[in-house]
Amino acid sequence: MQALLLVLFCLLLAASESSLATTNCQQSFTFLGKSPGTGESAIGNPVFWVLEDISGECEATHLIQIAISERGPICVSSNVKKYKDWAWLKEGIGHLQTEAPIELEDHDGTWRCAGVSWTVRTQHSRESRDELNDEFAQHVNSVYERNEVYERNRLFGLAGVGQPMFGGITHKPPYSFPKLLYAYPGGLYFNYEISKAYYFPGSGYLLVFTHQPMLATGNDTMHGFLLFRELAVDSLGLTEADRASQALSDFFSLLHDGRYSEAVRYYGGMYYMLRDWNPTVPANDYPTLLMNGCKYNGLLCLKIKRLVYYEEVTPTVFTFTVQFMNDDGSLFVSRGEAWKESEFTYTVRRVGDRFLVDGLPPYQQ
């Protein structure tokens, strides 16, 4: 209950500040440090110290503390008496025990650092972001005020965050995958850019600051930051999520390779669509139904190129967002008359000792 009250306090405090904003409330963030916290456990319970300066009519400085506990992240926000008067805070935190981060470097929109296999970038390339800007600006300027951004984030939580994409992640151990733990409620996490990113190799945390190029009403900014933790896995310690991910990858690889009888063992979805497409095939001839779906009915049975994001819905149910690849290794993009799509979401369930995929390959007419 205490943790819930602290989270609500953080959201309401930030929202109340934004509701007073009328013009030119421009945010800037300064990362002060990461302290280990008291009684750090195996999952870690550090405290991340971040300063938010807001100029314009909002003129305020907030000290934001994100504490990671076993029950999840807790946000505590405090107002500094004088705007931008935080040199003493920076000096004070310098006296704490902290973990030095590695600052990722920007390589044409892809952020990376030495010694880490994965890279991070936003969901859209810079070119595609430019294409979206006009439409997005019209939407934001006509709909969003800063307080509405807080409300949106409160309603949707982490599920409403357009997460960045991580490259260089394999499906076989040992590997690591950064999982989203926290999103600052003042940011609009769509069509954004990455402004800074810090990796903490000792504890596996990744802190990503986002820059939203579009402005809300009153020329207010909607920047924010995202906190991830790297989930490291070795060859002897596969988690349920790892096994679910491997089952998903195996299912699509088997379909691609024409091994339909084996693919049946990984499929837990419905066959009614395949039966409608193939009325002459016996209803329980599952291998033939899958084969016809891939060969004749328009299913594009491709291999997975990249795991973009996953979520543990329950201890036995997982959702995965993936990208597929064409046979030449390029990214598959499904195209319609007025849309295109490169990311697809699937549910994987553990039933007994097996993991079953709910969902068929992408369909293209």
Cβ atoms of residues 111 and 168 within 8 Å: no
Which residue has better confidence, 30 or 340?
30
pLDDT attached to residue 1: 47
**pTM (two decimals):** 0.58
Give the mean pLDDT of 25-44.
76
User: Among the listed ranges 1-10, 46-55, 202-211, 276-285, which one has the minimum average pLDDT value?
Assistant: 1-10
Average pLDDT, the chain: 81
Distance CA 350, CA 316 (A): 5
Q: pLDDT (tens digit, 9 = 90+) per residue, 231-267?
A: 654 443 457 887 888 899 999 999 999 999 999 999 9
Nearest to 359 by CA among 313, 316, 318, 305: 318
Highest mean pLDDT among 112-126, 127-141, 288-302: 288-302
Distance CA 204, CA 195 (A): 20
Which percentage of the chain shows pLDDT scores above 70? Answer: 78
Continuous segment of H or E residues that includes residue 290: helix 286-295
Give the mean pLDDT of 111-136.
65
pLDDT band at 196 (very low <50, low <70, confident <90, very high): very high
Cβ atoms of residues 194 and 209 within 8 Å: yes
Q: Which residues 6+ apart lie within 8 Å of 262 measured at CB? A: 254
pLDDT attached to residue 251: 95
pLDDT band at 203 (very low <50, low <70, confident <90, very high): confident
pLDDT band at 44 (very low <50, low <70, confident <90, very high): low
Give the mean pLDDT of 315-332.
90
119-121 and 303-314: which strand pairing?
unpaired
CATH code for 240-358?
3.10.450
pLDDT for residue 120 is more than 50: yes
Give the mean pLDDT of 309-331.
88
Sequence spans of domains, the chain: 2-233, 240-358
pLDDT band at 37 (very low <50, low <70, confident <90, very high): low
Query: Would you state the structure tokens that stand for residue 42, as one six-digit string?
Result: 């195996």
Q: Which residues 6+ apart lie within 8 Å of 322 measured at CB? A: 248, 304, 305, 306, 307, 308, 343, 344, 345, 346
pLDDT attached to residue 96: 86
pLDDT attached to residue 18: 44
Which percentage of the chain shows pLDDT scores above 90? Answer: 42
Distance CA 35, CA 197 (A): 17
pLDDT for residue 350 is more than 50: yes
pLDDT band at 157 (very low <50, low <70, confident <90, very high): confident
Distance CA 51, CA 57 (A): 18
